[in-house]
Structure 1
Amino acid sequence: MSDLTSKFRVKNGKKFSLKDFDPGYANSFKKGDTKDVLAGLIEETFDLQTELYAANKYALLIIFQAMDAAGKDSAIAHTFSGLNPQACQVYSFKQPSTEDYEHDFLWRHYKALPERGRIGIHNRSHYENVLVTKVHPELILNENLPGIDDVKDIDGRFWARRYESIRGFENHLTDNGTVIIKFFLNVSKHEQKKRFLKRIDDPKKNWKFSASDIEERKHWNDYMDAYEKAIQETASDNCPWYVIPADRKWFTRIAISSVILQTLKDLKLKYPVLPKEEKEKLDESKKLLERE
């Protein structure tokens, strides 16, 4: 599965182009193989998750970004279904609150970071501040920033500083033991249309659809440009992006699980070794229990 990790990994954004990534890619896998393949990946990940928790040296932050209907929610549900929920935490970020706007744009995301030994899943993330705000720059005015009194004040230098803030934030986290995986679920415009129609036709899925989804779809090209620029500016060896094909949900889940598993393997985790004194106490406890 390591070949999937390397195929979708973007660690140097300078030459990155979304055109090089096929939303419909599925390698040689078949849909019928999904259940068994995914179960095997999750089983291996569960074992490493236990080591991550026991070692208490690293935290794992997994970021999901995508267009509407790309399958973020279902991908999270399926790929984390077999893990220990006590060592996982999921945050779904909506529009900023009044309190959020009273702080810098990273504040609410910093509060949601996982502790050491845990896996944190962010459904949308601090990247919304260079994605939706890039497409709708008027939203920046809600932040009440010094020197930004009009949309015309939001220039190239503003965005350059914002990308720099994100890089600094992520580098600080990785320097202090938080391993970051950033997923962009790359769904095609055609597939998004099909999924929107399914949501409209199926009463059980009507709640997932909003008329605003159509309005945002009109900005498809602007969003693609924003995603491409964000990945170009923030992909690095320490904080890579993974551009995951999302037109086939079953393959998306396999690819995501493969990346998570390989990332944990690369940490070379080990269970803590007790000091000699503690080991002697264990041996004594064992003898006491056996004599009962």
Structure 2
Amino acid sequence: MDEYKVTTNISLKNTETKVVIEGAKSKLKDIRKALGDWQNTMYAHNKYAVLICLQGMDTSGKDSLIREVFKEFNVRGIEVHSFKVPTELELSHDYLWRHYIALPERGKFGVFNRTHYENVLVTRVHPEYILGENIPTVNSVEDIDDTFWDKRFEQLNDFEKHIADNGTIIFKFFLNLSKEEQKNRLLRRLRKQEKNWKFSPGDLKERKLWDKYQECYEEAINRTSKPHAPWYTIPADDKPTARYLVAKTIYDTLMKYTDIQEPELDDDIKANIELYKKQLNNE
């Protein structure tokens, strides 16, 4: 799925939001089973972790994608973290602290539903939120200039380089939703009573800032898509296709890690397997 991998600067206006792959649902079933099996092998190997980062506008399908793509995983092998408005505790630390402590351990998958990139997305659209971080050099919105954002992008790149160098395989997916499809999904939340709870009037306020968000996403993607931590822009208007593309991208990439194998049994244990079977059967 390298066609969706960001290797040069992109323009979101010129990227696809709708691709329909026939049979995407059935194709996903096979891949998610293979991914679940592969995670078991990775757990036994115990040298790598996998971090899946999901970003996208409201209603882009992040929650349902997590449910469908990782359905076949052993629950002990995957952890999902949804990063919302920082808590008082989180604000008492630097902005990356809550992401560091949520990183997956070796042998496991971690999924960030919204990610450390919120710190150059929502805070860039609403720079007043930065004031809550109590940064010594920031006393007003006027202090949040281009130099501030340059440093923050540098810090995000350093964060990812550090964890990649220490065995974390990173995937970053931008679920590229059209404004028209977002409108349809918001209307669906209002029409279906069982979906009403998902709707917030704040969704409409943020929708009015669509162009600003797209601008911030584009810059974030272009400045932080690196070989060790690439971005993928996934067409998200068709949910089954988006889920399949994410799963296929993860699977195809992980299959290149041929060093990830179940460890060999100790020679003594291997030589005595039949003896151990006999001892158990004779109980």
Q: Distance in 2 between matches of 1:44 and 1:281?
A: 31
2:93 match: secondary structure: coil
Matched with 2:193 is 203
TM-aligned CA deviation for residue 291 of structure 1: 4.7
1:266 match: secondary structure: coil
Matched with 2:265 is 274
Query: Is 2:83–2:113's contact at 8 Å kept on the other side of the alignment?
Result: yes
Percent of aligned pairs sharing the same letter: 46
Q: Distance in 2 between matches of 1:168 and 1:16?
A: 22
Matched with 1:25 is 19
1:180 match: secondary structure: strand
Q: Distance in 2 between matches of 1:127 and 1:193?
A: 24
Q: Are 1:38 and 2:33 an aligned pair?
A: no
Query: Is 2:80–2:113's contact at 8 Å kept on the other side of the alignment?
Result: yes
TM-aligned CA deviation for residue 288 of structure 1: 2.5
Matched with 1:105 is 95
TM-aligned CA deviation for residue 263 of structure 1: 2.3
2:153 match: secondary structure: helix
Matched with 1:228 is 218
Aligned to 1:75, which of 65, 69, 82? Answer: 65
Q: Distance in 2 between matches of 1:218 and 1:200?
A: 18
Q: Are 1:193 and 2:187 an aligned pair?
A: no
TM-aligned CA deviation for residue 284 of structure 1: 3.5
Q: Distance in 2 between matches of 1:82 and 1:94?
A: 26
TM-aligned CA deviation for residue 25 of structure 1: 2.1
TM-aligned CA deviation for residue 290 of structure 1: 4.7
Q: What CA deviation, in whole Å up to 9, does each residue of 1:149-188 have, x standing for no partner?
A: 1111101110010001000000000001011111110000
1:65 match: secondary structure: strand
Structure 1, unmatched stretches of 5+, are none
Paired amino acid for 1:221:
D
Structure 2, unmatched stretches of 5+, are none
Question: Where in structure 2 are the equivalents of 1:1-292 lying within 5 Å?
Answer: 5-10=1-6, 12-13=7-8, 15-26=9-20, 29-30=21-22, 33-268=23-258, 269-292=260-283
Q: Distance in 2 between matches of 1:86 and 1:178?
A: 18
TM-aligned CA deviation for residue 42 of structure 1: 1.2
Superposed CA RMSD: 1.3
Query: Is 2:36–2:70's contact at 8 Å kept on the other side of the alignment?
Result: no
Q: Distance in 2 between matches of 1:60 and 1:264?
A: 9
